Structure 1
Amino acid sequence: MTTPEADLNRLHAWLKAAAERGAVPVVCGANGDMDTVASAVGLASALPQAMACGRHLGRLAKRLVEVEQAPFRRLSRPTAWPASLGGLVVVDAAAPSQLDLDLPEGVPICVLDHHATDGWDLDSEDLSLRWPVSATTEIVTAYLSRHAPEALTLPVRRLLMAGLITDTGRFKHAGSSSFQSAVALLDDDGLDYRGLVDRIETDADLTSSDHGALLKGLQRAKTTDAGSWRLVTTRAGTLEGRVASLLLGTGADVCFVVRHRDGRTRVTGRARAQACRDGLHLGQLFESLAEVHGGEGGGHDGAAGWTSNLDRVAAETAALAAVASTNRSEVKD
């Protein structure tokens, strides 16, 4: 096992070699959440040949990228890549399918990720840095601090901090490395942490229709005991993660929000930090469901998702059964 310092040195050498060959797109996951977008923007800021890009920008990421005027290019399918590619960096995506792009052939790939699952089949010229941290922004922060401190401008640090805050669930699911990253990003007192949190939590991007969808999701909620776990389920057509997080406030151990659209069913899950300490890992649970029932599943211990071709009832039933079969080992705070 290599040390973090050795990993970062290998990453620096790989990026330097790729930049000498040509353009280096830094591609984020298709969900466009704050962690993946901030990681792409942050890493790209250290390399003139790099450009942060991806299929989609989530609501929060889109708002903060616009506020910070951060360079980001939206990609489509079929995907048009630069004529001269030196390498492709992928951040915060556990498999090629999570990019929703047509990847170029014969181009070296570097993967930076923190998820437990790994669906990449890499060659000898490729590189994978998979750290057991709470957010990919931690890897990028460590790299910039060591090899490109001049790239840690105030806008970049704000974006990286926003990715760290959101992917750790406001630090409820954070490890010690998350706080070390936060200290590094707050180092010179220029970052207004309270102001950033207020900006993250504002509902400025929610329409009246969105508020209605949130209320409907809450009204449809049902509670049940799944083995030794208290579980709440509901249906929603949008903002599933936010609905699930709101439902955790009812005291449930885990919440599932199910969406069926265009023949595909998406189960979005959120779990309390105590439930995760007691043995529940939604990312591994959804990965196992995908292996058995098909589709794509994975994520964090406390925030994950599974998309399949099952109908809504079958997908929800399978998810509930998986939770019920998970043993609970009580770990007191």
Structure 2
Amino acid sequence: MTTSDDQVDFDAAVSALTTARSVTVVCHVQPDADTVGSGLALALVLHRRGVPVRVSFADPAELPVSMRSLPGVRHLVAPADVPREVDVLVAVDCGSAGRLGALADRLDGAATTIVVDHHRSNTGFGTINLVDPNAESTTSVLAGLFEVWGEPIDRDIAHCLYAGLVTDTGSFRWVRPGTHRLAERLLSTGIDGAEITRTLMDTHPFGWLPMLSRVLGTARLEPRAHGGIGVVYALVRREDVEGLRSEEIESVIDIVRTTSEAGVAAVFKQSRVVDDRWTVSLRSRDSVPGAQDGVDVSAVATSLGGGGHRFAAGYTTHGCAEDVVAALLAALG
């Protein structure tokens, strides 16, 4: 268990879930493996207990291909099939109600709302908030909840929890004391950690390669930005990603962030639907010259309407490419 009871009060959540007659689990828009893995793991536990449960996310219309092998996908339903009223609604890996997208309105119809998250910028929008900013992933918070609840973690549940843990730690590059103990506990159920990681993080179609060529050609370095710490950024335009999955788009930031001359990395991703809407991914390192504690990109993202972790955050903005880049550089100073 990597989340301590003095940080998170699990008892209220256990009580609400134990007595729930129906549960909706809502993941954030543009879902990653942590939010989906958390949602499906909780659904598997509730289904085992005989509780009717639905899992959903507002956007996009389909689950990313890399996550379709996660156990419990049968519990996923379309947004239109999420009931307006439910006994308990659980939001997983969502720092704010806005991250629920079009499903945010379901909060009003829930008798009890539970937020399970690990984002430091979480707004505490639930009736019950299980938020541990020290946790590696939301799935690790859930592992702590299941321990307090007395619910065993079987192989399918472990698969879902491991998916969130391995992706949010960058294949265990960003860990804390207890991370590997949790991984060992999950692996001991018999899951294939290497295959799960390969499916989620290391498998791309050939079209990913020419996309990278086009996108990395837009990369620019601003070495004097943020007091000389430096910012590197790249643009992902709609025409660059035709026919590619969200996984390929989201992978770009992990390449851009390797730039040694910049303490902050950003990728601006143009909406496939609205020309002037951009989703921005921000990353920083935990130690760079001029900022030994690193740059808190969650504070920057929050100032621009988003949120996230200290070293990984994001936000959505509108405007032409030049303007959205200029706005970020101004916010960084």
1:254 is matched by which residue type in structure 2? V
Q: C-alpha distance in 1, partners of 2:34/2:330?
A: 30
Q: Where does residue 280 of structure 2 map in the other structure?
A: 267
Q: 1:166 and 2:140 equivalent?
A: no
Q: What are the within-5 Å matches in structure 2 for residues 31-110 of structure 1?
A: 31-48=30-47, 49=51, 50-56=53-59, 62-66=65-69, 68=71, 70-76=73-79, 79-82=80-83, 85-100=86-101, 101=103, 102-107=105-110, 108-110=112-114
Match of 2:267 in 1: 257
Rounded Cα–Cα distance in structure 2 between residues aligned with 1:245 and 1:300: 15
The runs of 5 or more residues in structure 2 that have no matched partner are 242-247
Map of 2:216 onto structure 1:
218
Shift of 1:46: 1.3
CA change 1:59–1:105 in 2 (3 A) is: closer
Which residue number corresponds to residue 315 of structure 1? 324
Over 3 Å counting, the alpha-carbon distance change for 1:236 and 1:59 in structure 2 is: farther
Following TM superposition, by how much is the alpha carbon of 1:40 offset from its aligned partner in structure 2, in angstroms? Answer: 0.6
Distance 1:29 1:201 in 2: 19
Deviation string for 1:120-173 (max 9, x for gaps)? 545xxx2111112121111111122332443x2212212211211111222233
Q: Which residue of 1 aligns with 2:301?
A: 286
Paired residues of 2:116 and 2:131 also in contact (CA < 8 A): yes
* RMSD of equivalent CA atoms: 2.7
Say how many residue pairs are matched: 305
Q: Determine the structure 2 residue equivalent to 1:304.
A: 313
Tell whether 2:116 aligns with 1:112: yes
> 1:254 touches 1:271 (CA, 8 Å); kept in 2?
yes
Match of 1:236 in 2: 236
What SS is found at the alignment partner of 1:93? coil
Equivalent AA in structure 2 for residue 53 of structure 1: S
Distance 1:176 1:57, change over 3 A: farther
Q: 1:9 to 1:23 in 2, by over 3 A?
A: same
Q: Please state whether the residue corresponding to 2:31 is helix, strand or coil.
A: coil
Residue identity (%)? 25
Q: Distance between the aligned counterparts of 1:71 and 1:316, measured in 2?
A: 40
User: What whole-Å deviation, never above 9, does each CA across 1:239-260 have from its counterpart, x for those lacking one?
Assistant: 4431121122332422211234
- Cα distance per residue 1:171-223 (max 9 Å; x no partner): 233222433432332345x233233323333324x352x33222211111111
Aligned counterpart, 1:331: none
Amino acid at match of 2:41: G
Deviation at 1:64, TM superposition (A): 3.3
Q: Displaced runs of 4+ in structure 1, greater than 6 A? A: 57-60
Distance 1:84 1:286 in 2: 32
- The CA distance in 1 between the partners of 2:125 and 2:196, in whole Å, is 38
Paired residue type of 1:203: T
Distance 1:255 1:83, change over 3 A: closer
- Looking at structure 1, the residues matched to 292 and 165 of structure 2 have their Cα atoms a distance apart, in angstroms, of 20
Does the residue aligned with 1:41 lie in a helix, a strand or coil? helix
Query: 1:52-74 deviations in whole A, cap 9, x for unaligned?
Result: 22224799854333354633324
Give SS of 2:279's match: strand
Cα 1:63/1:240, change in 2 over 3 Å: closer
Structure 2: how far apart are the matches of 1:184 and 1:106? Answer: 37
Q: TM-score, with normalisation over the residues of structure 2?
A: 0.81
Cα distance in 1, alignment partners of residues 120 and 7 from structure 2: 21
- SS of equivalent residue, structure 1 residue 115: coil
| Cα pair distance change 1:116/1:67, threshold 3 Å | closer
Q: Which amino acid aligns with 1:28?
A: C
- Aligned partners of 1:236 and 1:25: how far apart in 2? 34
Q: Give, in whole Å, the separation in 2 of the partners of 1:119 and 1:269.
A: 19
Q: Secondary structure at the match of 1:274?
A: coil
Q: Is the 8 A contact 2:44 2:72 kept in 1?
A: no
Letter in 1 for 2:281: T
Which string of whole-angstrom CA distances, capped at 9 and with x for unpartnered residues, describes residues 245-297 of structure 1?
11223324222112344222322222234348633121221102x2xxxxx31
Question: Could you give the per-residue CA deviations for residues 7-41 of structure 1, whole angstroms, max 9, x where no partner exists?
Answer: 22221101112x2xx31011111121000000111
Unaligned runs of at least 5 residues, structure 1: 291-295, 326-333
Corresponding letter in the other structure for 2:221: T
TM-score by length of 1: 0.81
Secondary structure of residue in 2 paired with 1:66: coil
By how many angstroms is 1:229 displaced?
Answer: 1.4
Distance 1:277 1:187 in 2: 37
Contact 2:285-2:294 within 8 A present in 1 as well: no
Equivalent-residue separation in structure 2 for 1:193 and 1:37 (angstroms): 17
Q: Secondary structure at the match of 1:185?
A: helix
Using the alignment, how far apart are the partners of 2:194 and 2:69 within structure 1?
20
